Amino acid sequence: MDRFLKPFNRSGLLIAILLSPQFSLFPSAFEMLGGLDLTPAYLNDSNNPPRLYYRYRVEFFFERDIDHTWITPLFRDYWWHTVTISVVYFFVVKALQLLMRGRKPLELRPVLFAWNGALAVFSIVGFIRTSEEFFHAVFDEGLVHSVCRCFPPDSVGAHWYLFFAFSKIAELGDTVFLVLRKRPLTFLHCYHHMSVMIYTFHSGAEHIGAGRWFIVMNFLAHSLMYTYFAIAALGIRVNRAVAACVTLVQISQMVVGVAISVSVYFIKTRTDHKCQQSFGNLNLAFLIYASYLILFVRFFIRAYISGPKKSTVAQKKKTN
């Protein structure tokens, strides 16, 4: 059983199942996190959430020709299905691992390059488009408004949040490539993919103001990460320092995520500012970003600090 549940960790799967609305084993699970089981679209004010308006200099057709009236109900009514998707993802991955047992790893270089290249382009374009509104929010409107005021539902930013959310489902495909190529599958990889997807859709249901920070940071980190993966898929050897820098960018993202969560908490509890984020979502954001920070730092130390030292010592022993 232990071998079957690696590397997901039994407790992680159990938590996902208990939190799923389909199960009644622990009906108060959502209440423990401050009311994750949403009824209104906006927990602070269902009719008039604080919004930050910005007019883009250029708007593309795919950023405006979408009927935005269905976006909020989609997130509000169906966000919890991402928990179901996570459970299905778990069993699909385990089935693929069983299928690949005793088989040779697949190369898949052309497909892998196309996959990572497409996600790299998407992330780069997403960063360019969302950073325009982000910098306006931070430098023109101020830090408080940038974390407290959400996108208007018919804005370019809201449409990019929609694209971003569905990309989190698509990124589960990363794991499929790892399994088919018989590469190590870590708890960090699986936990990160599942929890990001769930949190992104829940945040979309609330239209959280801090979402612009999370989106821009993620687009930036993934622009670098998927570009690196695409180059590596071509068989080009990339300096180890580049991979370390990508991981440091991801760690920085987690530090900022924790800082933003703490900032929103103080704004909501110590000031009169109206901040668009429920305490349930805020608690979840802090827990997720803090856990990412611990796991990514642990990975960085093992991969780029402890690892090289051990290999160097072993090499010296062989030489002597």
Does residue 202 have an active-site annotation? Answer: no
- Structural domain contains residue 49: no
d(CA 155, CA 116): 28
pLDDT of residue 280: 95
Instruction: Give per-residue pLDDT as tens, 198-233.
Output: 999 999 999 999 999 999 999 999 999 999 999 999
Taking the C-alpha atoms of residue 170 and residue 209, their distance in angstroms, rounded to an integer, is 24
CB 217 within 8 A of CB 134: no
Alpha-helical segments (H) within 20-108: 29-32, 71-78, 81-100
Amino acid 316: pLDDT: 39
Tokens linked to 234: 């071509």
Contact 221, 127 (CB under 8 A): no
With bands split at pLDDT 50, 70 and 90, how would you rate the model's confidence at 242?
very high
Assigned domain for 272 exists:
yes
pLDDT at 64: 83
Say which residues have a Cβ less than 8 Å from residue 119's Cβ, sequence separation at least 6: 167, 170, 171, 222, 226
What confidence score (pLDDT) does residue 46 get?
Answer: 44
Burial class (CB in 10 A: 0-12, 13-18, 19+), 213: buried
> What pLDDT score does 69 carry?
82
Residue 302 domain-assigned (yes or no): yes
The three-state secondary structure class of 51 is strand
The answer to whether residue 39 sits within a structural domain is no
Residue 97 neighbours by CB distance under 10 Å: 16
What is the torsion angle, in degrees rounded to the nearest 10, for the CA atoms of residue 22, residue 28, residue 33 and residue 37? 50
Question: Which is higher by pLDDT, 74 or 83?
Answer: 83
Per residue in 84-129, pLDDT (tens digit) is 999 999 999 999 999 999 999 999 999 999 999 999 999 999 999 9
The tokens describing 8, both together, are: 């997901």
Q: How far apart are CA 131 and CA 220, in angstroms?
A: 9
Q: What is the number of H-type helices and E-type strands within the chain?
A: 14, 0
Work out the mean pLDDT of the chain and round it to a whole number. 85
Domain annotation covers residue 35: no
Q: Which of 14, 237, 196, 230 is nearest to 113 (CA)?
A: 230
Whether 231 is covered by a domain: the verdict is: yes
Look at 194-203, 252-261, 275-284, 306-315 and tell me which has the smallest mean pLDDT.
306-315
Spatial contact of 132 and 56, defined as CB atoms under 8 Å apart:
yes
Number of domains in the chain: 1
Residue tagged active-site, from 189, 192, 193, 202:
192
Distance, in Å, from the CA atom of 106 to the CA atom of 100, rounded to the nearest integer, reads 9
Structure tokens at 65: 């020709």
Of the listed ranges 69-78, 106-115, 138-147, 192-201, the least confidently predicted one is 69-78
SS3 150: strand
Mean pLDDT value across residues 27-48? 43
Give me the pLDDT at residue 41, please: 39
- Model confidence at 14: pLDDT above 50: no
Q: Which is it for the CA torsion 255, 189, 23, 169, positive or negative? A: positive
In a domain, 162, yes or no: yes
Tens-digit pLDDT profile for residues 158-187: 999 999 999 999 999 999 999 999 999 999
Long-range contacts of 285-291 (CB under 8 A, 24+ apart): 285/199, 285/203, 285/210, 285/214, 285/257, 285/260, 285/261, 286/258, 286/261, 286/262, 288/195, 288/196, 288/199, 288/257, 289/254, 289/257, 289/258, 289/261, 290/254, 290/258, 291/191
Question: Both ends of the chain: CA-CA distance in Å?
Answer: 43
Q: Tell me if 65 is assigned to some domain.
A: no
Other residues' Cβ atoms within 10 Å of the Cβ of residue 53: 12
Percent of the chain with pLDDT over 90: 74
Question: Domain limits at 120?
Answer: 2-27+70-319
